[in-house]
Amino acid sequence: MEELIQQLVNGLFLGSIYALLALGYTMVYGIIKLINFAHGEIYMLGGFLGYFFINQLKLGFFPALLLAMVGAAVIGVVIEFLAYRPLRKSTRIAALITAIGVSFLIQNVMIYQFTANKRSFPQAIEFKSFKLGFIEVSNIQLLILFTALILMICLQLIVKKTKMGKAMRAVSVDADAAQLMGINVNRTISFTFALGSALAAAAGMLIGLYYNSIDPMMGVVPGLKSFVAAVLGGIGIIPGAALGGFVIGLLETITIALGFSDYRDAVVYGLLIVILLIRPAGILGKNIKEKV
């Protein structure tokens, strides 16, 4: 029982990473109905940017984190401008194939530049372990959880309380009507990509610090699982993406605790199938009739 509770605690930390990634998926889908499969690669680039800022520029962890988020935000805007904006009026399948192409492009450019080998992430924060009864947590785990929660709260405040957040909500409902009301749709979409990319970069740096390693393929599996988390919670719904991320993290660690670590991915995707059979719109999603 103690082992199970310990794994549930570990699942919260892992789930916070999935939640940060899932938020990027759900925001982009909510505003332009695009599944940005290059999002996992932005997560990977965040890890490499953090590695560069800490290892080469000798910055502390938090300055490096902020700079990595800014750098990833710029990359996200560039990807949207060059790859997705020209296809905005085309079919969804064309945009989807482009997103997969961008994902492979970033992966292979990074492999060409840095090889596919893992490299150690600099330990900018000294590891410390704490005992809370029979539960053991580290300062790195607490940093991951609190940073993720702060970023989620900031995102919610931006979406609910700022002018740009209101524009994002308006564009997600009806982009044409929003444009008629004077909202700059292109700028709003670019801001959404920047915001989602910044969150992904933060997740990449945090996971690099936690596992002490990064590599050009590190975004593939977390990217897919975060997409599953976004769909599970209700894609297009920000609280749903966060909830889905925590559910996936907890499910993974419970599966490992029960001795079925080889089947943890199968369990995650199996749960997605079951949830979609019961609630096709996800846990917090609402079924919406679409005119065809």
Token pair, residue 62, equals 């938090």
Average pLDDT over residues 183-189: 93
Tell me which amino acid residue 24 is: G
**Of 199, 194, 197, 190, nearest to 151 (Cα)?**
199
Does some domain include residue 89? yes
Beta-ladder partners of 135: 132
Task: Tell me the pLDDT tens digit for each residue of 60-95.
Answer: 999 999 999 999 999 999 999 999 999 888 888 898
Tokens standing for residue 42 = 């932005």
- In a domain, residue 251? The reply is yes
| Domain assignment present for 86 | yes
- 263 is a domain residue: yes
pLDDT (mean) for 181-191: 93
Contact 241, 159 (CB under 8 A): no
What is the number of structural domains in the chain?
1
Q: What is residue 91's predicted lDDT score, i.e. its pLDDT?
A: 85
Residue 66 lies in a domain: yes
Alpha-carbon span 82 to 88, nearest angstrom: 11
pLDDT tops 60 at residue 291: no
Which pLDDT band holds residue 214 (cuts at 50, 70, 90)? very high
d(CA 215, CA 51): 11
Q: What is the CATH number of the domain that holds 60?
A: 1.10.3470
Residue 53 lies in a domain: yes
Does residue 223 sit within a domain?
Answer: yes
Measuring CA to CA, which residue among 205, 266, 275 is closest to residue 21? 205
pLDDT of residue 1: 67
What's the pLDDT at 130? 81
Identify the burial level of 51 via C-beta atoms within 10 angstroms of its C-beta, where 0-12 means exposed, 13-18 middle and 19 or more buried. Answer: buried
Q: What is the pLDDT of residue 73?
A: 96
**pLDDT tens figures, 168-185:** 999 988 888 999 889 999
Instruction: Dump pLDDT digits (tens) for 240-254.
Output: 888 999 999 888 888
Instruction: Spell 134-172 as b/e; 16+ CB within 10 A means b.
Output: eeebeebbebbbebbeebbeebeeebeeeebbebbebbb
Are the CB atoms for 217 and 119 separated by under 8 Å? no
- The whole-chain average pLDDT of the chain stands at 88
Query: What residues pair up with 132 in beta bridges, in sequence order?
Result: 135
Contact call for residues 21 and 226 (beta carbons, < 8 A): yes
Supply the range of the domain harboring residue 149: 2-121+137-278
The residues, ordered by sequence, that sit 6+ positions from 120 with a Cβ below 8 Å of its Cβ are 212, 213
Among 40-44, 93-97, 255-259, 284-288, the range scoring the smallest mean pLDDT is: 284-288
Asked if the model's pLDDT at residue 292 lies above 60, the reply is no
Q: Is residue 131 one of the residues assigned to a domain?
A: no
